[in-house]
Each structure stands twice: as C-alpha cells, then as structure tokens.
Chain A
Amino acid sequence: MKRTFAILFIILIIISVCIVEEVTLNKTNQKLDEYSNSLSVAIVENKDNLNNESVLKEFKKLDDFWQDTKVTLCYLTNYEKIKTMDESLIKLEASIKYNDESLAIENISIIKSYSEFLHYFMGFNLNNLL
C-alpha cells in the first residue's frame, strides 16, 4: 500500500513537472513574440532617436519578462541554451543606447528566432521524441 502511494506520488510529480514545462514554454514563446514585436514597432517608429521613452519602455518590458522567466527556465533546461537570449538582450540594450537601428532590429530577430527555437528544443514534438 505504502509503495502504491509512493508510486502515485511520483506519477503526480512527473505530471506536474511536464505541465509546468509546457505552460512555461508556451507562455514564454507567446510573450517573447509579443514584446519583441512591440519593441520592433517602437524602434521603426522612432528610428531617428532610439533613446526615447517609448523604446526604452518596450525594452524594459521585454527585459523584465526575460529576467523573471529565466529563473524558471533554469530549472527546466540546460543553462548553455538560454545564454543566447541574454547575449542578444545585452546587444539590444547597447544598440538602443548608441542609436544603432540595424543592430537593434538584428537582435530582435535573434530574440524572435530564439523564441521559436526554445519551443523547438524544449517542447513535446515528434522531432524531439525521435
């Protein structure tokens, strides 16, 4: 009986971890897409002066979201695989600061593709399964 309870408890733990992973992944993917789109719109609209309030506000939203999500992702995936996102955010911040539109757009593209990649390597799909 004790063993059966232990097994049921383990099954619950595994299911919880799987659900947390899927939810975190979907949320991260969706939010990263949303925030990076708003940021790229703000950058295009303010390409003459990136260092203004609306761009900085959008960047802050993206950065804050990533800093919060990163903590959870560290429990679920290899640290090495989330390093790219941190690097891109640092470059993006610098490009906004030095008013480099092309570099900013380039880094936003990297963030967007990373968001897709995150789902690709962490999510449950046939490619990962095989």
Chain B
Amino acid sequence: MITLVLRSIIIYCIVLFAVRLMGKRQIGDMQPFELVVTLIIADLACIPMSDVSIPIVFGIVPLLTLVILHYFFSFINRKSMLFRKLLNGKPIIVIDKQGINYRALQKLNMTINDLTEGLRASQCFNIQDVAYAIVETNGNISVLLKSQASPATTSDLKLPVEETCLNVILINDGKLVKENLQNLNLDCSFIDRILKEQKITSVSDVLILTINSNGEVFFQEKNKPSKILNKKVST
C-alpha cells in the first residue's frame, strides 16, 4: 500500500509539472490538439498508479513524450499559419447579414439549439440583434451585435471618465507581498503607517490590502467589513 501512495505522489507531481509546462488554458479554451493531449495524459497517469506490476516508467515516459509533442506542436502552431489552419481549423461565420448560414452549421455538426445556446452564453438573447456570429477554433461563439443593439459606451455618451487603474495586492491573506511593494517603490513603513492608522498590530490580521495607481487603498481586516481608504496615498 505504501508503494501505491508513493507512486500516486510521484505521478501527481509529474502530471502537475507536465500541465504547468503546457500552459494555462482552461478546458473550454483548448484547441483540439491541446484537448487530445490533456485527455490522454489523464488516462496514462492512472495505469501505473493503480497497478504495481507495471513499472512507473511506463506511465512517465509516454507522459513526457506527450509533453514534448505538445510543446513541438505549439511551437509550430505559433510559427506557421498553414499548420495552424491544418491543426486548429479556422473560425467559421455562422450568422451574417443574410441570416443563419445553414451550410456552415452542417459543416460544424451544430444544431440551431447549439447556436442559440452559444449566443445566450455570449449574452445575446435575441438572434435578430446579431450582425455576425463566428464559431472560433476552440468552439466558442463570438458575437458582434448590430449597431442599434449594442450597449452604449461612455465614449458614445461623451461622458467624462476617470482612467482605469490596476490594483496591486500588498497584503494577501496576512502575508506581505514584498515584490509588489518594491515594484511600487514603497517600503514596509508605508504598510506600518496604514496599519497604525487602522489600529492593527500585525500584518497577519489583514485579509487584503491593495493599492491602485491613483493611490487609493482597498483594505479588509480578517472577519471584518472592507474599507476603501478615502485618504489618497501618494505612490
């Protein structure tokens, strides 16, 4: 039984390493060749994990071979347009100005139900509002709404808006993120000052503390409501 436990740990680490090497895509965003590798890896990992008569190498070597193959395919996929087209296919327009392209749907093995479901997933509930719908190579449906159905943006309304700012985490679940502090040219005294103002003795009591490029601080103590510190801190 100890063998099984140790084998499971080894294979788990190797699969984790393999998946990390392969990138960060979600299952739904995978291209066909990525999905194939993921499915096979899952199956390969199980065999030597449960059967001790099979050497662990029987699971590791094919797994690592798949990782290399995936890396190789991804590399060519990035470099060659032709290969990309062969491997992933190309996006197909299923709705255009003429309406639904039935032939394209047949080619994609899609039903009207699949199409309407995809449109709803893209927040489009009225098919008459769609100017173009494109089935992407990963199976997602991208929708371009007709001008009259598109939501108004602040530029359409000519409204003055503040620039969007990126929040940077300085304290994450009681732990100081020193790297982010350094990137913002801040030091620990900045954190100490905020903690002192909020009457908190230790960083470990803070759930989250973020700062944006406007110097606004979002702050929440553990098991207490959040606060946005109105006093702007210059960064």
Main secondary structure of the interface of A (DSSP, over half): helix
Contacts of B68 in A (CB 8 A): 7, 10-11, 14
Main secondary structure of the interface of B (DSSP, over half): helix
Contacts of B71 in A (CB 8 A): 3, 7
A80 touches B55 (CB 8 A): no
Given A3-B21, A3-B71, the answer on whether A10 and B64 have CB atoms closer than 8 Å is: yes
Given A6-B21, A7-B21, the answer on whether A17 and B67 have CB atoms closer than 8 Å is: no
8 Å CB contact of A14 from B21, B53, B65? B65
Taking CB atoms and an 8 Å cut-off, the chain A residues in 78-92 that contact chain B are 78-80
- Mark interface residues in A52-87 (1 if CB within 8 Å of B CB, else 0): 000000000000000000000011111110000000
CA gap between A7 and B52 in the complex, in Å: 28
Total interface residues on B, using CB and 8 Å?
Answer: 13
Our count of residue pairs bridging A and B at CB distance below 8 angstroms stands at 32
Chain A residues with a Cβ under 8 A of chain B: 3, 6-7, 10-11, 13-14, 17, 74-80
B67 touches A76 (CB 8 A): no
Given A14-B61, A17-B61, the answer on whether A79 and B67 have CB atoms closer than 8 Å is: no
A and B contact pairs by CB, cutoff 8 A, 22 listed: A3-B21, A3-B71, A6-B21, A7-B21, A7-B67, A7-B71, A10-B64, A10-B67, A10-B68, A11-B68, A14-B61, A14-B64, A14-B65, A14-B68, A74-B55, A75-B55, A76-B55, A78-B53, A78-B54, A78-B55, A79-B52, A79-B54
Contacts of B21 in A (CB 8 A): 3, 6-7
Nearest to B51 among chain A residues (CB) is: A78
